[in-house]
């Protein structure tokens, strides 16, 4: 079974440009999450999809970030226009259920997209 | 306030020895889960072990065990018989029912196994 995949693995862009990151979750996983790790800091939650609906987008930094999940399969995260502070590693994760039977299901992470804004 | 604290930025351990990576957490939610992930230099995040707040026993998965001390709010990862392939970043994370489905992560511990 294929894991979570992300594309591209690396992206180097100039300030003001647009970048679109893609995430393909594990097949059948309704829950999809985006996280970001800025250099030296902790990994921080950005948003959560359940199928095609945004369940929680409280972690999105500002309106330069737009996430979509049309059809409830893959997701894209667009940054427009990119700023220097957007540099970091963007992780996507997916899971089937969340909380069930007094237990959490783990989230399975992709390898991340390393974004560098110059 | 920081939800997850990992106070060891870097750790060294001799091959075949055991090592403990520290993690403390902060929550008022009685229903939560604690996770450890490994991130090797290749970048992927690999799930290692899970401990639920209602679990009576410490979780174990092969050479990994979680020393769960609920009253002290600590969830330390113990790796026994370290191997060279264990060299990686290790992240402690928590999920709470009250705040939904997001993970709260620590800043990570970089573990280096010395031959």
Give every CB contact of residue B105 below 8 A, 6+ residues apart in sequence: A35, A42, A43, A44, B4, B91, B92, B93
pLDDT of residue A99: 59
Q: Is A40 exposed, middle or buried (0-12, 13-18, 19+ CB in 10 A)?
A: exposed
What mean pLDDT is reported for chain A?
Answer: 91
**What is the nearest CA distance from B33 to chain A, expressed in angstroms?**
6
pLDDT of residue A103: 62
Query: Confidence band (pLDDT; 50, 70, 90) for A98?
Result: low
Angle at B21 between CA B18 and CA B26, to 5 degrees: 150
A22 preceded by cis ω (within 30°)?
A: no
Which stretches of chain B drop beneath a pLDDT of 70?
Answer: 1
pLDDT of residue B43: 84
CB contact under 8 A, B105 and A111: no
- Residue B55, both tokens: 């679990």
Looking at chain B, which residue has its C-alpha nearest residue A95? B101
């Amino acid at each position: 079974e294929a894991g979570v995949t992300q594309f591209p693995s690396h992206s180097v862009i100039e300030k003001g440009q647009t970048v679109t990151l893609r995430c393909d979750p594990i097949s059948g996983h309704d829950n999809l999450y985006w996280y970001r790790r800025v250099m030296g800091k902790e990994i921080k939650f950005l948003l959560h999809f359940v199928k095609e609906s945004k369940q929680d987008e409280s972690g999105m930094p500002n309106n330069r970030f737009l996430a979509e999940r049309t059809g409830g399969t893959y997701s894209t995260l667009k940054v427009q226009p990119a700023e220097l502070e957007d540099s970091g590693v963007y992780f996507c994760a997916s899971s089937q259920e969340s909380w069930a039977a007094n237990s959490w299901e783990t989230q399975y992470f992709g390898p991340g997209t390393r974004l560098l804004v110059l | 306030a920081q939800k997850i604290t990992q106070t060891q930025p870097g750790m060294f351990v001799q091959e075949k020895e055991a090592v403990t990576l520290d993690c403390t957490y902060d929550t008022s939610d009685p229903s939560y889960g604690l996770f450890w992930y490994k991130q090797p230099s290749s970048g992927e995040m690999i799930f290692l072990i899970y401990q639920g707040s209602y679990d009576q026993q410490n979780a174990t998965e092969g050479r990994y065990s979680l020393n769960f001390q609920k009253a002290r709010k600590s969830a330390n990862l113990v790796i026994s018989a370290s191997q060279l392939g264990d060299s990686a970043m290790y992240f402690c994370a928590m999920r709470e029912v009250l705040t939904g489905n997001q993970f709260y992560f620590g800043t990570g511990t970089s573990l280096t196994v010395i031959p």
